[in-house]
Every structure is written in C-alpha cells, then in structure tokens.
Amino acid sequence: MNENHFDVIVLGGGPAGLSAGIYLSRAKLKTLIINEGTVGGQIVLTHAIANYPGVENISGYMLASIMKSQALSFGCKIIANASIVNLDLTSDVKTVELKRKGTFTADAVIVATGGRSRKLNVPGEDEFKGRGISYCATCDGDFFQDQNIIVTGGGNSALEEAVALTKYASKVTIVHQFDHFQALKHYVDVAKANDKIDYIMESEIIEFSGDEKLRRVKIEHQRTHEITEMEIDGVFVLIGYVPNTEAFKGVLELNERNEIIVDKDTLATNLPGVFAAGDNVAKRYRQITTAVSDGTISALSALEYITKKREMGE
C-alpha cells in the first residue's frame, strides 16, 4: 500500500478544512490535511469568540486547537507549514507535491484554503490586529459596547456593518478615501439616517498607535494632505476580501472576485472529485459557523463521490 496515497486530501487547515477532516477520518477514510501556515486559519488571530454555538467564550487559538485535536483523534494526518510546489487536480488521481515533504496523491480533494481580509498596509496595523483592529463586525462588534469606533470603507458591506455596529458603539465614524460612497443608495440612505454615525470623507488612515491596545489613529486628507490624530477605541477595516485562490486560476472555475464557484448543494467544483469549502467559496456570509458547515457538506460529498467510484470499480 502506498503510504502517501489518501482517500481525500484537504487543502487548508482552518475551520472548514478541520471540520472536513473530522468528518472524513471519523468515516474511516484515510485523510490528509495540508496547511501552508499555522493550523487554524484566520480564527487563530481572534482574541475572543463569543458567538460559536455551545461555547460562551473562547479564544480563536484554543478553538482551532480543539478542532485539530479532534481531527487527529480520529486518525486524520496533518501537515502544517507546508509549501505546495506542484498541484494536479485534473487527473483522476489528484497529486500534491510539497517542498521538502514529498508528493501525496488522493482520489478526491477538498479546497479549503480560505481567504484574508484586505488590509490597509499601514504602520501599526499588524501590531494592533486583534487588539483594537478588527476585520469582522459580526464577529467582534459586541466587544466595543459603548465605545468610540471607526469603520473604514465605502462599499455596501462597510456601510451595512457601520449601521450594525451602532447597536454596540456609542459613536461610529466612517473614514472613506473618496468624496462619495461606492455603496448602493439604499445603504447610504440608511447610514445617513443614523444619528450615531459621523463621516470623514476624502481621507485615509495612515497609522495606528497605542500601548497594549489601539488608542489612536492618524488620518490624512487626500486633497490637502492635512494630517490629524484621533483618539479611538477600535477600528473596523472593511475594504474588501481576498480569497486564497491564486493557485487555482485556470484550473477551477472562479467568479470575478476570484472565489470558487461550487454547486450549492454538494460544494462540488467544475472538476470531478474536487470540492471546495470555506471562505474561498463564492457566497455572501463568512463566519466560523458557515465554514464548519461547508467543511461538513464537502466531506459528505467527497465520501459519496468515493463510495460511488468504488462501487463502479474505478
């Protein structure tokens, strides 16, 4: 038996990939999770999670650690900090070649490489990520109860989330680089009707600073280049989302935002035996719970695919 051949290879070790690994290995399929970074994905950057069902409050790192331990307990193999140098998803037997760690094959693959929030890429952003800077209003809004916060962005999501954040914050200031919003009129009208929202237009945040947490931002006006410093309790950066699908361009069917297009019922991609799950999939909502759901569905679909394939004697 080829030790490097698996029933299913899962690309990505975030909540979607780990959930898939749990379901597959518990179903007695030989399963390998390959993750390019630290297992856990984006959730390991989250200081506290309070809306995961059945768990009142837990750090993202701890939740990811529990998921990982559960997958391993069912026999799932995990390779972390891996670098993929070659990938073949079009053949009947799928192949993944890793730098210095060998070549692995599988009958099916689940692509759960996730995504990342688009960053401002200014000084202090990495330092205060999770300590005052957030990229998810739904995840972190209630941590800013009665506080003064900023939302940076001007699209539908930014304005919609700004309105939602007024349920928690005492004041929300929208900082946007243009003199007008890119959002639809409905979202603009709803935001402007909310008296807890202020606006700083034609401006961008150019620096974050503080001590153990975020305390201040520097804001530059785009026309005059005047720089002002503002004391703040938190900032939500809502300027878009980038799926981790660069390696699949020209192979998997992607939409205009480079998200993987899947069958909504099975999460199957355009390639036989290849499924996708999590934040790299074309969908509206991106939460830990939706990623876990995707991982479950893709695992069950992969199990059905392999079962039918073996029944046909292929």
Residues with active-site annotation: 136, 139-140
* Distance, C-alpha 117 to centroid of its chain: 7
> Which is it for the CA torsion 289, 291, 292, 294, positive or negative?
positive
Unique residue bearing structure tokens 């954040």? 165
- DSSP lists the bridge partners of residue 103 as 97
Between CA 250 and CA 70 the distance in angstroms is: 35
If residue 219 lies in a helix (H) or strand (E), which one and from where to where? strand 214-221
Unique residue bearing structure tokens 């026309």? 223
Cβ pair 50, 63 in contact under 8 A:
no
**% helix / strand / coil in the chain, to the nearest 5?**
25, 30, 45
Q: Among residues 193, 118, 206, which one has the least CA distance to residue 155? A: 118
Q: What number of H helices and E strands is found in the chain?
A: 6, 17
**Residue 187 burial (10 A CB sphere; 0-12, 13-18, 19+):** buried
Q: Among residues 110, 115, 116, 114, which one has the least CA distance to residue 21? A: 110
If DSSP states are collapsed to H, E and C, what string results for 58-102? ECHHHHHHHHHHHHHHCCCEEECCCCEEEEECCCCCEEEEECCCE
- DSSP lists the bridge partners of residue 208 as 217
